[in-house]
Structure 1
Amino acid sequence: MSQRTYFQLWADVQVELRRLLDEELPAEPLRPEKDRVVFFQRLATFYVRYIQTLRQLEEAYDLMVHPQKRRLVRQILDSVMGRVLELKNEMVEKEFSEYHYMDDVLHDLKLTPAELEIPIPRYFLRERSKEVQERKAMVADLLKMVEMNESPEPQAVKHMSPEEAVRLVQLAERARQGCLRAKLNVECRNMNRMYRTKDSGAADMELAATCIQKVWRSFVSRRRTKAERQEEMFFLGMIMDPKHQLPSPAETTAQANEACTRVKQEEHEEAYQKSIEVVTNQLRDMEGHDMSKTMKEQIRQWFIECRNATGVFPDYPDEEDGGSALIFAQKNPQQLMEELAEKEVAANNKPKGKEEKKEKGKKDEAKDDKEEEAAGLKMMPSAFLSDLEEGHKTFVDFWQTRDESENFIQRHEVELIKEEKRKVVEEEIQKQVDEQMRQELAEWKLSVDKDKGGKAKANAKKKKASKSGKKKKKEKDLTADRTLESLCQELVEQGLLKQADRVRLQDYLGDYSYLGTTLRQNDIEPMPSLSDVRQVLSLYAVLPLGSQSVHEKAPLVKAMLLVGPSGVGKKMLVHAVCQETGSTMFDLSPLNTAGKYPGKSGLAMMLHLVFKVARLLQPSVIWVEDAEKMFYKKVPKEEKELDPKRLKKDLLKSLKLIKGEDRVLLIGTTKDPLSADIKSLCKMYSKIILIPRPDYGSRYILWKRLIQKQGGEVTEALDLSSLAKITDGYTPGHMVQAIQSVLTKRRILMQTSRPLTAVEFVPPLAKIDPVFQEEEEALKNWYAKTPLGKKRIKAATGKEEEEAGKGKNTKKKKKKK
């Protein structure tokens, strides 16, 4: 498609975005909604519409060439991603569930379930491809070095005499000949039996010919019928025509055009960066002197006005307050002096102790009163709606009506660069002017206000002392003298830094849950599908790790726990998150850390190393396999020597130090959460994701895709529906085991003469124990004891409203007292 098409797509997205902003930020504030179902319906509708907007914006950004347009689209794209995460967080808090079912919303908007899939922006990896490849190469080299150092010495070849060698060859040859002789004997015996059973009478030639004709005609008719059936299926579009399975000329042309577009993006970006440097230098040389001159004149005029108004020269604003930027604001000298005086008074007279508590109590009472007045559900304030409005305003003001008929190649706009960089140059010059004018003001004060010079110095000392007293203690760096490469090498040698497997999130197969809304309407809590799990991982892990701005402003998720039976794909999801975001992977599993860095000091050093390197190589994922071992109620005897609970306290402390700017995520996986203390486990992991065994739709897709991936052919002889039906309770891991045992190299070669059938997969499946209903019910009951599960039960039984009512009554009584 042409660049005009992508610009039109962007314009259409902005129209939809304007509608969403008008609905979310109306002129008159909406009344609180008392009906929880209606409120959730509104949230779900916004959520689905924002996902549609996100998908279109991602497509426009991926193939746009104009560098300045791409920057604005990227800003809007990140804001839309953040808004989707905010709506997801709000839906979780209102519905008390990590999984949501929006069949009715999709039906109202006339969308398919596939359009509810969270699109993962391609720029996560494409714009960091060099960096990601360098990290992978570094880790791979370190792993090779470790393997070389740890590889055992080759065993010495035992010397053998010629006699012994000849004897060994003779034994092998005699064994081979014996096997062949036995095989020939069996074949001869079978042939003799066949001849004995034959009728000694002469064969009737006519009966033989008739028999041959019947067989041949039936074969020909079957072949003709099969060909006609295939033609009909091709015509109806039920089967893909083999000639269409190969890429068509149009597809190859589109791929070539896309590659050319990528090259143009890089060329235009390089030209844009060079132009920024040239324009910035020109502004400094051409306009820098005039800017500093006008600033100095305005500041001197302000000095004189303040002197005339108050009789004293003013104090120069600090850099923290903005410096001379406060002076250039449209305010009188008296107003500026009053503001500065108020700030000093507020800093010196802070309420302490009981006064603080009284003020907090008053604020809490005011909040309670407001909540009582506006009883109902309201949407939470957003950190991204202002950015969306700003981006939309920039689009409308500059790009919507801009004539680009002469800019067919989509090069950058020099005037735009000048406008942006003029502000940057002004800020640079402002800092230089501030330093000069502070000195000049001090000289004026010394020459005119000699009597007050000592006081000014004393005030300056007090300010410096107060500033120095506000400094917070920084975290100690135990490895300040070491390089990043040495730290990575040590972590690789200890097995804590690992290479993630090449798995994508789209490889985690699963179908949409079509009956979720219906079951919930009948007060039945449905088990989520594997498609829902994939969607939740995209929201909580992939999108925040992929974008820095989204991670800083969106609801922060520091740790999440994946709970499910063995074989549902927990480990695969962890590796997929690392691959989708280009994250560095660390392994802090109890079994992996056993015996490493002994003692308290060693434990502190290990966690310091991991979290320091994770911040330096962010985005990073810290994986804890068998997370329940860290929170055992009672440690088994065979694991006491491993000390699996040694990381329990220190890991939680290190986790609390992660801030919004640190793209570090802790992911734990467990198949036996019942053996862990649920309170301490929930303290560590704020998000708990329950992964079920696959439903019928997911099993059907899994069987089809996994067989094809292993080299098998899905034909009419293979009844996938029956195979999916009888494998209820089997996980994707069990299916992979069965497929690998059946589809050997020899069986793959025999498919043309003997197609695959469902019966072949039954024997290997019979040797595997499935996930029984009791185990799944035990996991559901355990999840009901988590904080979110308890809230869900209270909301379902109506206890939450009773508790809220009791809380309000007690508050009223306290107020009356």
Structure 2
Amino acid sequence: MSQRTYNKMWADAHLELSRLLTEELPAEPLHPEKDRVVFFQRVAMFYVRYIQIFRQLETVYDLLVHPQKRRVIRAILDGVIGRLLELKNEMVEKEFSEYHYMDDVLHDLKLRPADLEIPIPCYFVTECSRELKERKTMLTEILKMVQVSERPQPPLLKKMSPEVAIKTIQVAERARQGRLRAKLNEESRNMNRMYRTKEPEPADIELAALCIQKVWRGHVERKKTKIARDEEMIFLGMAMDPRHQVPCPAEIKAQASESCTRIKQQEHEEDFQKSILAVRKQLRDVESHDMSEKMKDQIREWFIECRDATGSFPDYPNDEDGGSALIFAEKNPQQLMEEIAEKEKEDSNNRPKVKEEKREKGKKEKGKAEEEEEAGLKMLPSAFLSDLEVENKTFVDFWQTRDESTNFNQRHEVELIKEEKRKVMEAELRVQVDEQMRQELAEWKLAVDKDKGGKTKANAKKKKGSKSGKRKKKEKDLTADRTLESLCQELVEQGLLKKANNVHLQDYLGDFSYLGTTLRQYDIEPMPSLSDVRQVISLYAILPLGSQVVHEKAPLIKAILLTGPTGVGKKMLVHAICHETGATLFDLSPLNTAGKYPGKSGLAMMLHIVFKVARLLQPSVILIEDAEKMFYKKVPKEEKELDPKRLKKDLPKFLKLIKGEDRVLIIGTTRDPQSSDIKSLCKMYSKIILIPRPDYGSRYILWKQLIKKHSGEVTKSLDLSSLAKISDGYTPGHMVQVIQSVVTKRRVLQQPNKPLTAAEFVAPLAKIDPVFQEEEEALKNWYAKTPLGKKRIKAATGREEEDEAPVKGKDKKKKGKK
């Protein structure tokens, strides 16, 4: 597509965004919604519409060439992603479930299930490709060094005497000759049998000819009927024309044009960076001196105005308050002096009074929040809506009406760079000017008001002393004298730093849940599909890890627990997260850390090194396989030597140190959460995602795609529907195991004459134990005991209102006593 088309898509996305913003930020505040279902429908509608905007903006950002437009779109993209995560958090808190079913919303908006798929932005990896390449090369070099050092020496060959060697060669040769002689004898016997047969009679010849004709004519007719049936199915639209299965010339041309646009995008970006340097140098050489002198003149005028208005020179604003930027605000000198005086009074107030006021305010806010909850449901405050409103306004005011008829090649505009760099240079110069003007003001005060000058200095010292306060203790860096490469090498040698597999999230196959809303209307809790799992993983893990801005402002998720039976793809999802975001993978599984870094000091050192390297090489993912072992109720006898509960106390402490600016995520996987202490496990992991066995639709897609992936051909003789039906209870891991045993190299070569059938997969499938319903019910029952599961049960049974009623009664009694 052309650049004009992408500009139009950008405009359409902003049109829809402006409509959404008017609905989310109305002129008059909306009344609280009492009906939970109606409120959820409204939030779900917003959520689906934001996904559509996100999909449009992602394609525009990926293929637009103009570098300045791309920066504007990137800011809007981050805001839309953040708002998506906020709406997801809103739905979880109001519906008490990690999975949401929106088939009715898709029906109302006339969208397909594919439109609900959350795309993973390409810029997560492309924009930091250099850093990722450097990390990969560093890790591969360290892995090679470790492999070379750990490579075992070849075993020493036993010495053999010449007599023994000759004897072994003779035995092997005689055996070979014997096999060859037996084969020749069998062939000669077969030839003798053929010659012994009698000559056929004329009647036998006619019967043989009739038999051959019958078979051949049947074969020809069956072929004709098959062709006719295929043509009819193609005509009715029930099957695809084989000509369209191969990529057409238009598709090949479109792919080539996309690759050309990406090359052009890089060229324009390089030119843009060069022009930024040139403009910055030009502004420093030409305008910096005039700009600083102008600022100084304005500050001096303000000094004189304040002197004339108040009778004394003002106090210069601090850097924390903005410095001389406060002076250039549209205010009188008296107003500025009043503001500075008010700030001084606030600083001089006692701290305990401030704490008491904060407590009182907190109590009042809690009371107000309770009253609002009683009144109805409201949307939580957003950290992204204001940013989206500002970015939308800049597009409408500047980019929407901009004439670009002369900029056909979509190159950068120098005037825009000058405007931006002037602001940056002004901020840099202001710091220098402030230092000079502070000294000049002090000299003026000493020259004119000698007595007041001494007081002002003393006051300034007092202020500085009062503002210093107590400093927070910094974390001790146990490895301050070591380089990053040495720490990485140590972690690789210990097996704690690993290389992630090249797995895309789209490889985690699964179908959409089409009856989720209908089942919930009849009070039946549906099991989520694998498509829902894929969506939740992209929202909770990939989108926050991929963008620093989103991670800092969005609801912070530090740890995720993936629970499910063996073979559902928990480890595959972890590797997909690392691959899609370019994250570094660390392994702190109980079995992997057993016997490494012994003692308390060793444990502290291990966690310190892991979290330090994870912050330096962020985004980072810390994997904990068999997470239930860390929180065992009772450690089994065979695992006591491994000490699986070793990280139970220290790891949550390090988890608390993860902040919004640290793109570090802990992911635990477990197949047996029942054996762990549920309270400590839920304290550690804020999000618990239950991964079920695949449903019928997912199994159908899995069989089809996995057979194709292993070079198998899916023909009409392969009944995929029956295969998906009989494989109920089997996981994707079981399916891969069966396909690998059936679709061998020899079987692939036999496919043209003997196509694959469903019966071939039944026997190896029957040898594997499936996930029985009892195991799935046990996982469901365990999940119902988690905090979110308990809330869900209370909301379903209507106990929430009953629980709230006695609490209100108690409060009234207490008030009466008072």
Q: What TM-score range do you get, normalising by the shorter chain?
A: over 0.9
- Tell me the equivalent position of 2:761: 761
- Tell me the equivalent position of 2:25: 25
1:473 and 2:450 correspond: no
Measured after TM superposition, the shift of residue 358 of structure 1 is 6.4
Indicate how the Cα distance of structure 1 residues 161 and 224 shifts in structure 2: closer, same or farther if over 3 A, else same: farther
Measure, in 2, the Cα distance between the counterparts of 1:749 and 1:278: 63
Indicate how the Cα distance of structure 1 residues 268 and 175 shifts in structure 2: closer, same or farther if over 3 A, else same: same
Question: Which amino acid in the other structure matches residue 638 of structure 1?
Answer: E
- Tell me the equivalent position of 1:590: 590
285-294 vs 794-803, which deviates more?
A: 285-294
Measure, in 1, the Cα distance between the counterparts of 2:784 and 2:501: 33
Measure, in 2, the Cα distance between the counterparts of 1:358 and 1:273: 51
Measure, in 2, the Cα distance between the counterparts of 1:784 and 1:695: 21
- Tell me the equivalent position of 1:210: 210
Gaps of 5+ in 2: none
- Tell me the equivalent position of 2:92: 92
308-317 vs 515-524, which deviates more?
A: 308-317
Measured after TM superposition, the shift of residue 307 of structure 1 is 2.6
| Structure 2 SS opposite 1:666 | strand
Indicate how the Cα distance of structure 1 residues 735 and 177 shifts in structure 2: closer, same or farther if over 3 A, else same: farther
Q: What does 1:22-61 align with in structure 2 at a 5 Å threshold?
A: 22-61=22-61
| Structure 1 SS opposite 2:149 | helix
Question: Which amino acid in the other structure matches residue 144 of structure 2?
Answer: K
1:411 and 2:411 correspond: yes
Measured after TM superposition, the shift of residue 198 of structure 1 is 10
Measured after TM superposition, the shift of residue 191 of structure 1 is 9.4
Measure, in 1, the Cα distance between the counterparts of 2:577 and 2:806: 44
Q: What does 1:673-752 align with in structure 2 at a 5 Å threshold?
A: 673-752=673-752
Measure, in 2, the Cα distance between the counterparts of 1:248 and 1:398: 40
| TM-score using structure 2 length | 0.96
Q: List per-residue Cα deviations over 1:88-130 (Å, max 9, x = no partner).
A: 0000000000000011100000011111111111111121222
Measured after TM superposition, the shift of residue 326 of structure 1 is 1.1
Indicate how the Cα distance of structure 1 residues 759 and 597 shifts in structure 2: closer, same or farther if over 3 A, else same: same
Q: List per-residue Cα deviations over 1:50-86 (Å, max 9, x = no partner).
A: 0001000001111100111111111111111111110
Measured after TM superposition, the shift of residue 131 of structure 1 is 1.9
Q: List per-residue Cα deviations over 1:701-729 (Å, max 9, x = no partner).
A: 11111111111111111111111111111
Gaps of 5+ in 1: none
- Tell me the equivalent position of 2:310: 310
Measured after TM superposition, the shift of residue 423 of structure 1 is 1.0
Measure, in 2, the Cα distance between the counterparts of 1:673 and 1:705: 31
Q: What does 1:166-315 align with in structure 2 at a 5 Å threshold?
A: 166-179=166-179, 204-315=204-315
248-257 vs 34-43, which deviates more?
A: 248-257
Measure, in 2, the Cα distance between the counterparts of 1:778 and 1:83: 35
Measured after TM superposition, the shift of residue 185 of structure 1 is 7.3
1:15 and 2:15 correspond: yes
Q: List per-residue Cα deviations over 1:287-332 (Å, max 9, x = no partner).
A: 2222222221221222223233333322211111111111111222
Indicate how the Cα distance of structure 1 residues 189 and 462 shifts in structure 2: closer, same or farther if over 3 A, else same: farther
Q: What does 1:125-524 align with in structure 2 at a 5 Å threshold?
A: 125-179=125-179, 204-352=204-352, 356-357=355-356, 360-361=359-360, 363-365=362-364, 367-369=366-368, 371-372=370-371, 375-524=375-524
Measure, in 2, the Cα distance between the counterparts of 1:44 and 1:448: 68
Question: Which amino acid in the other structure matches residue 372 of structure 1?
Answer: E
Measure, in 2, the Cα distance between the counterparts of 1:191 and 1:78: 80
Measure, in 2, the Cα distance between the counterparts of 1:389 and 1:469: 38
Measure, in 2, the Cα distance between the counterparts of 1:190 and 1:814: 106
Indicate how the Cα distance of structure 1 residues 196 and 773 shifts in structure 2: closer, same or farther if over 3 A, else same: farther
Measure, in 1, the Cα distance between the counterparts of 2:415 and 2:389: 23
Indicate how the Cα distance of structure 1 residues 600 and 398 shifts in structure 2: closer, same or farther if over 3 A, else same: same
| Structure 2 SS opposite 1:352 | helix
Measure, in 1, the Cα distance between the counterparts of 2:572 and 2:669: 11
- Tell me the equivalent position of 2:558: 558
Question: Which amino acid in the other structure matches residue 423 of structure 1?
Answer: K
Measured after TM superposition, the shift of residue 242 of structure 1 is 3.8
Measure, in 1, the Cα distance between the counterparts of 2:115 and 2:780: 29
Question: Which amino acid in the other structure matches residue 762 of structure 2?
Answer: V
Q: List per-residue Cα deviations over 1:464-506 (Å, max 9, x = no partner).
A: 3233324221111111111111111111111111000111000
Measured after TM superposition, the shift of residue 204 of structure 1 is 2.7
| Structure 2 SS opposite 1:533 | helix
Q: What does 1:625-636 align with in structure 2 at a 5 Å threshold?
A: 625-636=625-636
Measured after TM superposition, the shift of residue 173 of structure 1 is 3.1
Measured after TM superposition, the shift of residue 421 of structure 1 is 1.3
Question: Which amino acid in the other structure matches residue 105 of structure 1?
Answer: V
Measured after TM superposition, the shift of residue 746 of structure 1 is 1.0
Indicate how the Cα distance of structure 1 residues 199 and 533 shifts in structure 2: closer, same or farther if over 3 A, else same: farther
Indicate how the Cα distance of structure 1 residues 523 and 617 shifts in structure 2: closer, same or farther if over 3 A, else same: same
Measured after TM superposition, the shift of residue 444 of structure 1 is 1.6
* Residue correspondences, number: 816
Measured after TM superposition, the shift of residue 369 of structure 1 is 4.2
| Structure 1 SS opposite 2:711 | coil
Percent identity for Structure 1 against Structure 2: 77
Q: List per-residue Cα deviations over 1:196-220 (Å, max 9, x = no partner).
A: 9999988533222222211111111
- Tell me the equivalent position of 1:115: 115
Measured after TM superposition, the shift of residue 223 of structure 1 is 1.9
Indicate how the Cα distance of structure 1 residues 239 and 136 shifts in structure 2: closer, same or farther if over 3 A, else same: farther
| Structure 1 SS opposite 2:302 | helix
- Tell me the equivalent position of 1:575: 575
51-60 vs 263-272, which deviates more?
A: 263-272
Measured after TM superposition, the shift of residue 646 of structure 1 is 1.0
Question: Which amino acid in the other structure matches residue 734 of structure 2?
Answer: H
Measure, in 2, the Cα distance between the counterparts of 1:176 and 1:757: 38
504-513 vs 424-433, which deviates more?
A: 424-433
Indicate how the Cα distance of structure 1 residues 238 and 168 shifts in structure 2: closer, same or farther if over 3 A, else same: farther
570-579 vs 298-307, which deviates more?
A: 298-307
Question: Which amino acid in the other structure matches residue 602 of structure 2?
Answer: G
Indicate how the Cα distance of structure 1 residues 562 and 370 shifts in structure 2: closer, same or farther if over 3 A, else same: closer
| Structure 2 SS opposite 1:433 | helix
Measure, in 1, the Cα distance between the counterparts of 2:63 and 2:425: 32
Question: Which amino acid in the other structure matches residue 31 of structure 2?
Answer: R
Question: Which amino acid in the other structure matches residue 425 of structure 2?
Answer: V
| Structure 2 SS opposite 1:645 | helix
Measure, in 2, the Cα distance between the counterparts of 1:438 and 1:511: 67
- Tell me the equivalent position of 2:652: 652
Indicate how the Cα distance of structure 1 residues 472 and 194 shifts in structure 2: closer, same or farther if over 3 A, else same: farther
123-132 vs 784-793, which deviates more?
A: 123-132
Measured after TM superposition, the shift of residue 540 of structure 1 is 0.3
